[in-house]
Structure 1
């Protein structure tokens, strides 16, 4: 990860350094010494930390604090996923170990390799010459890596035993509707419209592939010259399912310059994809279709579902904030962002993606 992507640990999210140091010594033979722990600043879900003892370094992932949604934040499952995918897809981090021992950091956790490179989120590194060519090349790399991931034969991996591709899309639609109902804090008639439309318009799945399901720039890492993707993180949502659902999720994060302001600024600064030269969602989808050979006629469904799914994730976070299960002030206005995402889903429901 980049040199400026770590921060001092946020209050309340500290790790027990002494317990962790003892664990590393016992299980990995890391010599006793000064364990340095920093926190990665990005992300609103799982807590991710950089560990360093001398020349040794690793990344630790654990669930967020407080009560969790059912089936969410399963550290063992995410560890098994990267273990299965890393040998076939090099941007996936190499796994180190998983532990159920909650006495170490207060929850199950896993360790993985610490990759180094550039994470692009809302801005480019200082002194980067930002050109249309660079933005187009980054866009195409994102398309290429998604196509490459979808080309892996999941039957060659343990994911074939960890997932149920048959009926994936229907289960997903009903599962995310249930999640929304459980986390609802306000009545929103637009949400009712979207949920009804989704249940009535589920398309037939063309094929099933490994899907990352959280594919976006700030989950990726690039080489220092920005020419290649060297890392892809946050495999928590990964499964075997409809690849167009993965494309839809990627496009729900792919904000473009003519999007509503709340969509662009809902989480702070807009992502780099609003910069001139980046593909529009339509261009990304068309290139994905050309390179993968998949029919994207029904992409409006997948994109609407993706905006709804993202709205539910934000609603779950807002629910935890409103119930006092987290005090992170970043989440205090997530209800407005949920409304914006739902409204955008309504907009996409009956219109061509642009």
Structure 2
């Protein structure tokens, strides 16, 4: 079993359970953990005649509503016929005696994931960064145009007041994790709540739709074959999804040295190019994007501050977390610059 210490799967319980609920699995089970994610734990399960993927929450205490495997199963078991990049969910495990937590088993997809730079197999292709960017915006637009009722996902969330609830929730998280005065965050919070845009549409909002949650067909940067990590998806304003993607995109105003994790490397299209493509694919009016981008920076600053707060409180000894305080301040400054 190729897994990180402490994150092994109890195969003596899992294997009989899978054979009972997914008949036809032949041969022994080979387990390999995917190492790219930072939250939910993901494993490849390889049999003689089939390859599967298992996702489960991280070990330890979990915040209410986070890492919701039942939500992920509900989405993926219904969405695939209407949005091909969504992997087909095959099994929801809710028996705590198997893994000690809910888990989802889904089909295995193969392809290339983009992280901080263009991978080797794509580097020699013409205009590869532009093509990858186009494909990312196209798949986002396709998701946002799924007919929610037809897909049977009308019960996924409460779109009325979605942005207001999002903003209120992140403001509470900020206050709980504050370690010092931050005038930029105070200004952002006041400005955002005073001018919440009226949504143009209700769509499935993925919540973290960026390159490292997508899989491209190997050698074909124009085609996203899979989108992963659906446990926080809901119904709401699609422009919040777009803004979230933009918040992690290279920006001349963002101090890359303050980032605890590297940004995309190389000469990628500017944010304006992404917005132009998304608008062309969807027909949405992006005149209020400064608010959405400022909100996305606010949210990202809170996430960074929460991690830094854990470091200050001594809840983690991971020295990398010290840099998240700088990141929180950098995103707060960027958010103020994005305000209309």
Check whether TM > 0.5: yes
Q: Unaligned 5+ residue runs, structure 2?
A: none
d(CA) in 2 for partners of 1:223 and 1:291? 21
Alignment CA distance shift 1:16-1:320 (3 Å): farther
> Is the 2:25–2:50 Cα contact (8 Å) retained in structure 1?
no
d(CA) in 2 for partners of 1:328 and 1:156? 46
Alignment CA distance shift 1:67-1:138 (3 Å): same
Alignment CA distance shift 1:216-1:338 (3 Å): same
Query: Which of residues 7, 15, 19 in structure 2 aligns to 1:21?
Result: 15
d(CA) in 2 for partners of 1:47 and 1:327? 21
Equivalent runs, 1:19-98 vs 2, <5 Å = 19-29=13-23, 31=25, 33-98=27-92
Alignment CA distance shift 1:308-1:244 (3 Å): same
Structure 1 match to 2:287: 297
- List per-residue Cα deviations over 1:164-188 (Å, max 9, x = no partner): 1111111111122123333444443
The TM-score, its normalising length taken from structure 1, stands at 0.87
- How far residue 27 of structure 1 moved from its aligned partner, in angstroms, is 2.0
Structure 2 match to 1:4: none
* Aligned-residue RMSD, C-alpha: 2.4
Structure 2 match to 1:229: 224
Q: Report SS of the residue matched to 1:297.
A: coil
d(CA) in 1 for partners of 2:83 and 2:41? 24
Structure 2 match to 1:3: none
1:275 and 2:266 matched: yes
> Is the 1:119–1:221 Cα contact (8 Å) retained in structure 2?
yes
- How far residue 293 of structure 1 moved from its aligned partner, in angstroms, is 1.2
> Is the 1:65–1:326 Cα contact (8 Å) retained in structure 2?
no
Alignment CA distance shift 1:339-1:96 (3 Å): same
Aligned residue pairs: how many? 339
Structure 2 match to 1:248: 243
> Is the 2:26–2:48 Cα contact (8 Å) retained in structure 1?
no
Structure 1 match to 2:150: 156
- How far residue 318 of structure 1 moved from its aligned partner, in angstroms, is 4.3
Q: Report SS of the residue matched to 2:120.
A: coil
- How far residue 231 of structure 1 moved from its aligned partner, in angstroms, is 0.6
d(CA) in 2 for partners of 1:32 and 1:148? 37
- How far residue 344 of structure 1 moved from its aligned partner, in angstroms, is 1.8
> Is the 2:164–2:196 Cα contact (8 Å) retained in structure 1?
yes
Alignment CA distance shift 1:53-1:132 (3 Å): closer
d(CA) in 2 for partners of 1:332 and 1:10? 24
The TM-score, its normalising length taken from structure 2, stands at 0.90
d(CA) in 2 for partners of 1:10 and 1:323? 26
